[in-house]
Structure 1
């Protein structure tokens, strides 16, 4: 009896894992229904589950063409899963509780703290209110801009529907699209409106809600937190550096930038630099990129977005801390210092743990897929990293995955959305703090 009571008192990480799993299962069952797909028959469970997992984990990898294989009902289910998965089910539950003026308990606040990747519960409900306001405002404005642009290409009602659908997909860094034939935004490589609105949505959803709140309140506070400074600096660096590398590697490639004019080359390079930050949309043929560019994009996908955002990956702050640790070690310094602030040892250990767990997950899944799939190693590594980073970019392997391959990619997307550390906390036994320390030993390193 006691063991059952202990199991019922679930920790916040376990509640998050079970909550996301429940949403995925419900979404998969809805997508299985004949009313959800254009064939009018039941969709195979593994395909429905894969689509629901990809949508809830805001990834964008697809085994069925979203625009052609799903009805409007199925597409709306996918859109709602994207919104729920991007903002988090606890965020949506808190919104409902606030609407009905229900008290947010201490347990709810602990779960929200875990879901939003915050260090403290202080102001967590206030942050949730801001998350909803900022998210819905950005999505509404960008949906209107998309609709106005696409009204020139399709009937107005369809343009509005496309605008809302793709605004939600892009802001939540999902990568799903309705254009059919797995072509994403390749038809708009020259279009500045579609490119800039999509990039704004991707970056806004990827920097994190704490950063967004800091930027909105900057005029009042006249200061930015260390977290915001690090996120903005690293995000800007990765986008610019990524665009330069892609521009150089693909400049003469006739399958990508080589056939475009200078405006198209610049837009293409910058969009393909932004989208690996877990967005998944693309204006260039990913399969047509040179291998050097594809491997570089794998690195960008592994880094991913920022904490407390709609994106995945190890996160920009984790990558920054790892780089800072290397620089500090080379310079012979004991502390990592950023913007005149010293980082605690605990932050460094956490960054190292996240990076190693993520790397191990990608390596193990890639090794497993090389035995189940008939594809090149780079293609499999690309697909696995895309799943972990909840990116959604693909070299064309996903629609041809075996059943075992689909299951492995589902697990990878799930782990990538929740974070390897949260998943480890949820699955591992909870241990109390040790009351003693072992004697210090010495090892030779390097």
Structure 2
């Protein structure tokens, strides 16, 4: 066995995922520096290309240059391909190619897929992968068709088709990139469609389906036959719905009288915009109003939603809605004096609780530390820097306009945060940590006072 094969076999699933994403980002960055990728025929600075490749692969949406203005069709397609690979996961894409050529999927590859999909078992894993690919293509094609029909009213057919496909893919993958920079100004996003019910509903549905996770989608499609949902799906759907409704209600209350945001809109558009930003903030990253004009309280509320993020195994980031549910469950259990966290008549295992707490603390430490570092480097308000950092970690892409003006060192820091947000702090910790050794003894139990 050659050394290369030995080295490959020595890599754990977390390491494969970490190194795989890093390699894709580097490849994308090199492609984006080509003059062919620029709308102006010049080379984009490597750091800016690296930032955009990281943002696309990590399905974030933060941008230092406007995708529609800066990039040629080739460059835009590179961004789109990186987004698709990042959203579905490179292992999923690799499995698709392997299945297409009838190649056997090894046990090791199944372990990596299990890690990538945040799936609890290898049983039915390949069936899930097939479903992931079919569901994704079906949703993206449906979204592209619906958007193309609407945009044919505003632009020629071929351009409407291109815009439809592009935005359907980026919205479903929760990347948040758009091509409206050449039409309504750089970084303008969907501001021109704030009153368009059709566009708002289609985009919200694409973001929502991309954010609930493929396991949940599979459960929903099987519900007609099984008449039951897994505990995971019940938790994701319940808490996602609660977060959407509460987020929309708070957004409406806080911004209703703001003359720069919801104030000038009629009541229907205010409600629609509130739901749009509640859904988008969890990972979608697009907006129909200028986010810097929001009240500070609203920006902080969106920041919290970005931190929570989407569901495991989805195209979104954050600490994940299931982790948030476990933390809420732990708080309720403690208040009621219960030893176990019970959800839908199921008791949660202790290792799940410990993992949820660990993941939350790692995320809190990362976001807080990075925001403090940026506040030393950049002369900006701390809330704005914290907002940008949380957006990067939650792979959301919402921005208060700081990203294009950041210093080179700050851009590198944000790239690292986006990478950690996509791969996951725990996955990276497992990848970098030495191989665990079996403990030969346990220490005696001790007690400390809490509260």
Q: Is the contact made by 1:328 and 1:335 (CA closer than 8 Å) also made in structure 2?
A: yes
Residue 443 (str. 1) matches residue 448 (str. 2) = yes
Map 1:382-401 → 2, pairs under 5 A: 382-401=387-406
> What displacement does 1:435 show?
2.8
Q: Is the contact made by 1:143 and 1:163 (CA closer than 8 Å) also made in structure 2?
A: yes
Q: Is the contact made by 1:301 and 1:389 (CA closer than 8 Å) also made in structure 2?
A: yes
Aligned to 1:279: 284
Distance 2:232 2:143 in 1: 27
Distance 1:410 1:433 in 2: 36
Q: Is the contact made by 1:249 and 1:292 (CA closer than 8 Å) also made in structure 2?
A: yes
> What displacement does 1:5 show?
4.6
Q: Is the contact made by 1:272 and 1:284 (CA closer than 8 Å) also made in structure 2?
A: no
Aligned to 2:297: 292
Relative to the length of structure 1, the TM-score reads 0.98
Other structure's SS at 2:411 match: helix
> What displacement does 1:7 show?
7.3
Map 1:375-414 → 2, pairs under 5 A: 375-414=380-419
Residue 372 (str. 1) matches residue 377 (str. 2) = yes
Other structure's SS at 2:93 match: helix
> What displacement does 1:373 show?
1.2
Q: Is the contact made by 1:32 and 1:45 (CA closer than 8 Å) also made in structure 2?
A: yes
Residue 328 (str. 1) matches residue 333 (str. 2) = yes
Other structure's SS at 2:352 match: helix
Aligned to 1:302: 307
Distance 2:6 2:227 in 1: 49
Residue 267 (str. 1) matches residue 268 (str. 2) = no
Aligned to 2:108: 107
Distance 1:429 1:2 in 2: 20
> What displacement does 1:234 show?
0.4
Distance 1:432 1:220 in 2: 45
Count of residue pairs the alignment pairs up? 446
Map 1:87-102 → 2, pairs under 5 A: 87-102=88-103
Residue 218 (str. 1) matches residue 218 (str. 2) = no
Other structure's SS at 2:283 match: coil
Distance 2:191 2:173 in 1: 20
Distance 1:137 1:435 in 2: 52
Aligned to 1:346: 351
Residue 362 (str. 1) matches residue 363 (str. 2) = no
Aligned to 2:210: 205
Map 1:54-65 → 2, pairs under 5 A: 54-65=55-66
Relative to the length of structure 2, the TM-score reads 0.97
Distance 1:69 1:429 in 2: 43
Aligned to 2:121: 120
User: How big is each residue's C-alpha offset from its partner over 1:12-57, in whole Å with a ceiling of 9 and x where there is no partner?
Assistant: 0000000000000000000000010122111110000000000000
Distance 2:414 2:189 in 1: 21
Distance 1:317 1:419 in 2: 14
Distance 1:206 1:115 in 2: 15
Distance 1:266 1:366 in 2: 32
Aligned to 1:424: 429
User: What residue ranges of structure 2 are gaps of 5+ in the alignment?
Assistant: none
Runs of 4+ in structure 1 over 6 Å off = 1-4
> What displacement does 1:10 show?
0.2
Q: Is the contact made by 1:383 and 1:398 (CA closer than 8 Å) also made in structure 2?
A: yes
